[in-house]
Structure formats: structure tokens, C-alpha cells
Amino acid sequence: MAQSVRGVVSVKRGEPVEVRTIVIPDPGPGEAVVKVQACGVCHTDLHYKQGGINDEFPFLLGHEAAGVVESVGAGVTEVAPGDFVILNWRAVCGQCRACLRGRPWYCFATHNAEQKMTLEDGTELSPALGIGAFAEKTLVAAGQCTKVDTAVSPSVAGLLGCGVMAGIGAAINTGGVTRGDSVAVIGCGGVGAASIMGARLAGARKIIAVDIDQRKLDKAIELGATHAVNGKERDAVEAIRELTEGNGADVVIEAVGRPETYDQAFHARDLAGTVVLVGVPTPDMKLELPLLEVFGRGGSLKSSWYGDCLPSRDFPMLVDLHLQGRLPLDAFVSETISLEDIEAAFDRMHQGDVLRSVVIL
């Protein structure tokens, strides 16, 4: 039987979000209904609400979530009712060319739940990133659920479903940071801060945090950065070079998503260094690169898609490292709030006051 729960909906472009009654169908084949326990507030939710992603309003927002599987549809083998899970954006198929080449994060046939959640009047909802977890319950594809150790707090677990995974993955999966590396992270919001933590986990020797907001730099040092550079006061490229004996960093991670900062990242890399773009650019952004420098300095320019993660491999691993005290993810939870507080939390995020607000259900 379909059930009604409360959820946060962005009804119209740019308008404040509303707590509405939403209708969740019983899970069909390959689907699961998850009782959401915690869901982080991410920039992408704000972008949906502002109409920056697409126009398929109304959106059911929220996508950095963890919870307990309530029921599953026919043929579901991945998870069972009662499992504690972290949700991911899209289930991978396991069979396409990308999956078979061992790069499932580029899967060509990812999917979400087929059925739609609706408003009470039957209007279909578009779930943010195929999740829609600012709600007491949500409907997803079973492959979007990854079972993890129940000892982790739901608020921390949920963060691994998006921004924190993107940041850690940019360092360890895409950037391949390894013991002894020098790493520079440009932009130390939620994503960049997670890259710093990933670099530390991987044994980086120097971790240079760059931001234009001193509060973010203070936090970065707390999380394990060894040096902080305020881009408002200093030229970031010069500072990174100076801190690396004039060489530049082995891995430079751009976590802002702007051409200027990607350009800085490009020039701040060491000979044969790696540049990772994890900040999401807008369609109009362009970058001009001096080809001779690409050639002469070598190395690689990469982008990191969702931290190039494989949820079934990475979520349980990061949860275990956290439980062992090697990944202090609690630092990302700036405040816990309720569904009613989300609109105000967007403002605080926009002002840069918080790393993450987490809705607890």
C-alpha cells in the first residue's frame, strides 16, 4: 500500500521550499523504500531549487542520506528490510562497457527507481539526484543502497553519500595521492575539506589548503592541512610553489569549480604533477591552457566524477576507517536540524557559515 510521509519540496523555481505530504508507492521490482535517518544539505539541493540544474519541478530535495531499508520489491538481492544503508546517486549496471572495463563510476546504464513519488494530488516529483531524502521515507533503486556498519552515526554516514565522498575520492581515487606526496587543495568548503582528509589518510607529507575565507582555512588546519594560504592576501600559485621548494605540488585538487582556480591548479603542479577538477563548472565556463606548458611540465589533468567512487567498495571502507578513528568525519557536521529548518540552512550554507547542516529524521 502506498504511504504518505512528510518531505521537503521545491515547488517553483527560486521560491522557498515547503514541507509537504508526499506519497511513496510500494517498491516495485528492483526497488526499495528507505526510512531516512539523516540527510545533509548540499549545494546541489540549492541549485535544484534555484533552477540551476533543470526545470523538472517540483523537486523532492535531499540526497546525502543514510537510513534503514523498510521494504524491498521483487527480485531485490542487494539489501533486505532492516539493513542500515548509505544512498548513492545511481545504481550501476555491472554489464556495460564502462562497468566491464572496471570503471563503473562511468557506467552508461545507471538507474534510479522506475516508479515516481508524488504529491497528494498525484503530481509526480523529481527526486534530487535520483534520491529525494529530505523526507521521512524515500523510494530508490535497490542498487542505490549500500549496507554499512550500524555503529556509525547516520549523520556521518549520510555525508559519505555525496560531498565527502566526492572530496575524499578526488584525492585518493582520482588524484592517486600516496605516501609522501605534496598536495594542494584549492577551495576548502565541504568538498575541499574532505579532499584534505583524504590526502591525510593517504599519507601526504604536505597538504596546502587555499581559500579566500579565513574560517575555511582555520577548519582546514584542524582537519589536517599542514599549511594555509589565503588567496585574498597572496598569489595562490606563488605560495604553493614557495611551500614546495619552488616545485609545485604533486597533486593539486580544484574544489571550487571556476576557470580561475583551475588555472591556478594547472600552474601550481609539479613536473609530472596531477591536477584534479572536482568543483563542478557551469556550461559557459572555458579554460585556455598554454600547450607548451602542458607538454613541457607533463603530468595529467583529470576530472573527478563523484570522487570516482564505487559505493559498494568505498562506503563500507570509509565507514570502517571512521569507526577506527582514522577519518574524523564528525568535523563535517556543523549542526543538526529538522525538515522545517532547511530553508534557513540554505542561507547559512550560502553565507559559508557551515560545512554541513544535517537534517535528522
Strands (E), the chain: 3-10, 18-24, 31-40, 59-60, 64-72, 84-87, 118-119, 126-127, 137-141, 145-147, 182-186, 206-211, 227-230, 249-254, 269-277, 300-303, 335-337, 357-360
Rounded Cα–Cα distance for residues 312 and 203 (Å): 24
Site string for ligand APR, 191-230 (x = CB under 6 A): xx-----------------xxxx--x--------------
Q: Name which of Zn ion, ligand APR, none residue 279 binds, using a CB cut-off of 5 to 8 Å depending on partner kind.
A: ligand APR
Dihedral sign (CA 54, 138, 159, 253): negative
Grid coordinates representing 351 are 553565507
Judged by beta carbon distances under 5 to 8 A according to partner kind, the member of Zn ion, ligand APR, none in contact with residue 158 is none
Is 261 a binding residue for ligand APR by CB under 6 A? The answer is yes
* CB-count burial class (<10 Å; 0-12, 13-18, 19+) for 272: exposed
Q: Would you count residue 333 as binding ligand APR (CB under 6 A)? A: no
| Length reported for the chain | 361
Distance of CA 290 to the CA centre of its chain: 31
Q: Which of 67, 231, 248, 307 binds ligand APR (CB under 6 A)?
A: 231
Least separation, in Å, of the C-beta of 211 and ligand APR?
4
Interaction between residue 280 and ligand APR (CB under 6 A): yes
Task: Catalog residues that contact Zn ion under the rule CB under 5 A.
Answer: 42, 44, 92-93, 96, 99, 107, 109, 162
> Does 169 contact ligand APR by CB under 6 A?
no
- The reply to whether 277 sits near ligand APR by the rule CB under 6 A is no
71: Cα separation from own chain's centroid: 26
Nearer to ligand APR among residue 91 and residue 278 (C-beta): 278
162 touches, from ligand APR, Zn ion, none (C-beta below 5 to 8 Å by class): Zn ion
Q: How many helices (H) and strands (E) does the chain have?
A: 11, 18
Which of 58, 189, 198, 311 binds ligand APR (CB under 6 A)? It is 189
CB nearer to ligand APR: pick between 205 and 234: 234
Can you give the binding site for ligand APR, defined by CB under 6 A? Answer: 43, 163, 166, 186-192, 210-213, 216, 231, 255-257, 260-261, 278-280, 352
